[in-house]
Each structure stands twice: as structure tokens, then as C-alpha cells.
Structure 1
Amino acid sequence: MHPLESQRPANANAAPRVIAVTGGKGGVGKTTTSINLAMALVNAGQRTMLLDTDLGLANVDVMLGLSPRFTLADVFAGRCELRDTVIEGPRGLMVVPAASGKRHMTELLPQQHVGLVNAFSHLDIPLDVMIVDTPAGISDGVLTFCQAAQDVILVVCDEPASVTDAYALIKVLSRDRGVNRIQVLANQVPNVNEGRAVFDKLERVTSRFLDVTLSYLGAIPRDEWLRLAVQRQESVVDAFPTAPASLAFRDIARKIGQWQAPQGPRGHVEFFTERLVAAQGSACA
């Protein structure tokens, strides 16, 4: 029996909220953010899946101490179905691991990225939320996975290169993929005021040159407990639940829980399209 079979209720085909976590520049903490947001959502009672789309240099499984039998590389090679890659992580978090050290996975064609997105329409596992951890940069894969999500969380640090690359990603997402609503999360900041200042800096240049709406989602403080949790291959929200970073991640998860549920497909490439169509039909009934 598949390890997730027992979790399948009658409403397995409800449309989950899909959130892409991105950042433009490497090293801003996208994967750490993805893992801890996913775990905070699990702890809040949300059936959550974490999808690693860093197809050539994956590390979600490593950071959680997991040993997958199959990865997305096996799906593309025809050795297994997408469902076979899903492994159960801490507290029931569902993880879809990508491959590490597979150069050919970084050279997939645009239609292959779209094919991966479409494959989720046939995944009959019950979900409330899926977090999509994207790689750094502005490659086709990053753009497609952000476009295919209902929401994009942009992780940015108080460094000139981080802000510059975040702006470049916003520009390309808006111009090429029609993504014009983005949540900004300030990471590794010394205090709340600094987090807001990072957002204001990015928002000033964005509002001047781009037709994009940025929203301030919050800030994650620089926290030694977070570094220790990474060394232990655990999320900080589980390893050190009272740490400043843990409290911040739980607050972000609470905000996400208040977002409106997806109402239906938007007419372009999108995760769980068939479930979104069904949700739209239910809403119209």
C-alpha cells in the first residue's frame, strides 16, 4: 500500500492552494523558507506537499534527512509515475524530491516543464497546500513554476544583489508570464523594521517602472537556532518551536491560512488544473 493511501478522504480532489517560493538570487534562503513554511502549515492542520523544482541541484530531501527511492529524474526517464516519488516527511509532510547532480535535468525543454505541471492534475492525493521550492535565477523552469502557482512568495535579503535580482525576476515574471501580484518575504533581517525597509526599497523601484502589485508578507529574523536546525536536518519550527524564526514562520503560515481559496483556473499553465475546473463547477452549481 502507498504510504499515503490511508490519508485519502472523500474530498481528495479539492483544489489545493499552490504557492511558489522564489527569490532570483541564490543564497537568500528559499529552500529553508519553503521547508519551514511547509512544516508550519502541517502543524496548523493543513495537508501539505513540498515540491522541489531545483531539478539539477535538489536539496529539500537532504535538508529534511530523507532518503527517496525515486525522484523527478525517474519520472522523466519513465522509471516511475509522479505519485511514486511522493515520500512522507516529518509529521506527515508530503515531499516530492528532485534530483541532485543530474545535469540533463537542468536542460529540460519548456514543454517538459509544462508537462510536469500538468502531471499534477492526475495526482489523486488529498491536499490543502503545495509549496513549490524554485531554484535561483530566471530560467524557463523558474518562470513556468511561478506562473503555474496561484501565489508567488519572493524571498529577499538586505543585500544590493538580492534586491537587484529580485527586481529582475519580478520584471521577467510580469513581462513574459503575466504574473503581476507577488508577496514579498524579507529574510535574515536583524529586526522587523529592517524587514519592512527591505520591502520598501524593492517596492519603490518596482512601482516606478513596473505594473506589479507587491504585498509585504513579513520578515524572518536572523536566528542562530535556524542554523542549528539546518545542521540537524530539521525544520526550525519543529526543532526549536519557540525560536524567533519559528514564531515568524508560524505567523506567515497563519496569514497564508487566511488567503481566499482558489476559485478556478486562470486560462494558462497551472498546477492541478482539473481540480480547479471541478472547484469552479462546484462554485457555479
Structure 2
Amino acid sequence: MHDQASVLRILAKKEKSKMRVIAVTSGKGGVGKTSLTVNLALALAEYGQRVVILDGDLGLANVDVAFGLIARYTVEHLLCGEKTIEEIMLTGPRGIGIIPGGSGVQNLANLDRDKLSNVILNLGRLEKMADLLIIDTGAGLGYTVTNFLQAADDIIMVTTPEPTALTDAYGLLKTLRKEAGEVPIHIVVNRVRSENDAQATFNRLETAVRKFLHGSLNFMGWVYDDPLVGCSVMQQDPLGISFPESSAYRCIQWIASKVSGIYQSPPRQAGGVKGFLNKLLRSF
């Protein structure tokens, strides 16, 4: 890893930030992970949180599209030293920062010392910009996805009541049990008809995790199946902006209040960007 470890040790000596890194993931695509990420950020901003989103989905990087924005630069330009973090970051509604990711994210492990130092110093400035860094990961068991998840302070896993979604969610949880056993995992059940449906879905997943993985999950909440979600996606205008009174967004506002609680009273000390990068780079 060249001199990555020594660079990170030097940075780790600086004062620790209280910024938390939260990774949003799912066992399969199409369960509403990015929609939840975008609207969760909007709801958190309503609670006074300063939020930055890192688009970590290498195959379908689309956080900027969900906000109706066009990314001129991505993390790739940061990694090669062409642009600074301030130059690649987009500003969304309510002051939300958006770091377009794309294929550049996976190149983080292949940097020489000079470029790595530049990237870390740039990302380190997020400490003064945000209270929360939310990573919209890719779906499934990809190498980069699991690295992000085991380096985060908290994981929010999105699933739906569909059997295939639950099966894939369990597969990801099985991997995380081995790779990220210490990271708290919070479940959000999306597209439910009722609270009972949501609770039953969570119970099925939790029972399997307790029985076969000897682990535990936290039920963070649910989002109702709401046709206005599809309308907002087609308009490229997030639900929290276009339909803030919708039943789905009210659920997300409630979930955001719980996420704020994670930030205010974390189960363990937050490592901030430096702690996140330290764990992330060790995993490559």
C-alpha cells in the first residue's frame, strides 16, 4: 500500500470530528435505495443537519440526476489531482452537497503517495462542511460496496416485502456479518401497504439473522407504497421538494429523526472522514 498507512497515521493525530459516515445499501437493485438516500438527506436538512452525499454506486451513479442536476466533474477528477473537493461538489436543495462518484471511486486503492495525500486532505475538509456524510452504495455484494459498508459508522439497509428482495438482503447481511460485524445495521422496509406489513417483513429478516447468523438488527422504520414517489422520479425532482406532504416523505421525515438520534447519541464514537478512510483503505 506504499505509504498510505503512514499518511493516515499522521492525519489521525489531528482532532477527531463528530461527523458520522452512514452507508445506505440494499441486497438488490430496484428497491428505492437512491430515492431514500436523496429524500433522507432533504429531511435531515430540515432538522438542521449539514449533509453531504457521496454517490458510491459505480454502475448506476445517479444521485445528481435524482436532484435534476448535471455533474460536470466527478471523484475521478479529484483522484487525478485536476480538481478540488469544492470544485467537484454540486449543491442541491437545502444546501445538500453532492459528490458525483462513478467509476472513480474504485480507483481509490491504486493511488501513489502524493495523490493519496491530496485526496485525503481534500476529503478531510468535509469535516468542516457537514455533520453527516451519506454514501449511496451500489446494490449487492460488490467488492467496493462491502468496503464502504465495513468502513462506515452505521449502515442503513433498504429492502421491500418481496421474497427476492428479502433473500438478497439476507445474503448481504451474511457477508456483512463476516466483514463488518461491528457496524450497526438499521433496516428500512420500503413500499409497504401498512405498518403490519413492515413489521412482518422485518420479523422474517430478523428471525433468520438471529437463528443462522447469531446477530441482531435495528428496525429503523418503513416507507409507504406511494405513487407520488414515481411521479417525483419522472420529474427529476425529489419527493421532499415536489410532494413534501406525501405519505412516503412523511415516513422518511420520521426515519430522519431517528438518524439524527444516531448522530447525537451514537452507540460508539464516530471516526469521521479520517476514520472512514483509514478503515476503507485497510480493506483494499
Query: TM-score, normalization: structure 1?
Result: 0.81
Does the C-alpha gap of structure 1 residues 201 and 225 become closer, same or farther in structure 2, counting only changes over 3 Å?
same
Aligned to 1:227: 230
Whole-angstrom distance in 1 between the partners of 2:250 and 2:240: 8
Q: Give the corresponding residue for 2:282.
A: none
Counterpart check, 1:165 vs 2:157? no
Corresponding residue pairs, total: 256
Corresponding position of 1:16: 19
Check whether the contact 2:151–2:277 (CA below 8 A) recurs between aligned residues: no
The 5 A counterparts of 1:49-60 are 49-60=52-63
- The runs of 5 or more residues in structure 2 that have no matched partner are 1-14, 279-284
Letter in 1 for 2:273: F
| Contact preservation (8 Å) 2:153, 2:184 | no
In the aligned structure 2, how far is the partner of 1:214 from the partner of 1:47? 27
Letter matched to residue 146 of structure 2? L
Aligned residues: percent identity? 36
Q: Give, in whole Å, the separation in 1 of the partners of 2:85 and 2:78.
A: 6
Contact preservation (8 Å) 2:156, 2:186: yes
Inter-partner Cα distance in structure 2 for 1:261 and 1:119: 27
Aligned to 1:207, the other structure's residue is in SS state: helix
Structure 2 vs 1, CA of residues 145 and 111 (structure 1 numbering), >3 Å: closer, same or farther?
farther
| Secondary structure in structure 2 of the residue aligned to 1:15 | coil
Whether the 8 Å CA contact 2:152–2:276 is kept in 1: the answer is no
Residue of structure 1 in register with 2:79 after alignment: 76
Identify which of 87, 98, 104 aligns with 1:95.
98
Deviation at 1:111, TM superposition (A): 6.0
C-alpha distance 271-172 of structure 1, shift in aligned 2 (>3 A): farther
Partner SS state of residue 185, structure 1: strand
Partner in structure 1 of residue 274 of structure 2: 272
AA matched with 2:40: L
CA distance in structure 1 between the partners assigned to 2:146 and 2:25 by the alignment: 10
The residue that corresponds to 1:195 in the other structure is: 198
Contact kept in structure 2, 1:173 and 1:179, CA below 8 Å: no
Secondary structure in 2 matching 1:258: helix
- Residue 256 of structure 1 is matched in structure 2 by 259
Aligned to 1:25: 28
Question: 1:225 corresponds to which letter in structure 2?
Answer: L
**Separation of aligned partners in 2, 1:210 and 1:168:** 11
Q: What letter matches 1:211 in structure 2?
A: H
Q: What residue identity is the alignment partner of 2:149?
A: C
Query: CA, structure 1 residues 121+197, in 2 after alignment: closer, same or farther (shift >3 Å)?
Result: same
Cα 1:227–1:117 shift into 2, 3 Å: farther
Amino acid at match of 1:95: I
- Cα distance in 1 for residues equivalent to 2:175 and 2:59: 22
Q: Give me the whole-angstrom Cα distance separating, in 1, the residues matched to 2:50 and 2:89.
A: 13
Structure 1: unaligned runs, 5 residues or longer: 1-11, 277-285
Q: CA RMSD in A?
A: 2.7
Distance 1:24 1:146, change over 3 A: same
AA in 2 matched with 1:63: A
1:147 matched to 2:150? The reply is: yes
30-39 or 61-70, which deviates more: 61-70
Q: Tell me the amino acid that sits aligned with residue 273 of structure 1.
A: G
1:214-242 deviations in whole A, cap 9, x for unaligned? 01111101101111111111221221111
Q: Structure 1 residues 124, 248: closer, same or farther in 2, change over 3 A?
A: closer
Cα shift at 1:76: 3.0
Separation (CA, whole Å) in 2 of partners of 1:180 and 1:212: 11
Partners of 2:19 and 2:270 within 8 A in 1: no
SS of the equivalent of 1:164 reads helix
In 1, Cα distance between equivalents of 2:127 and 2:105 = 27
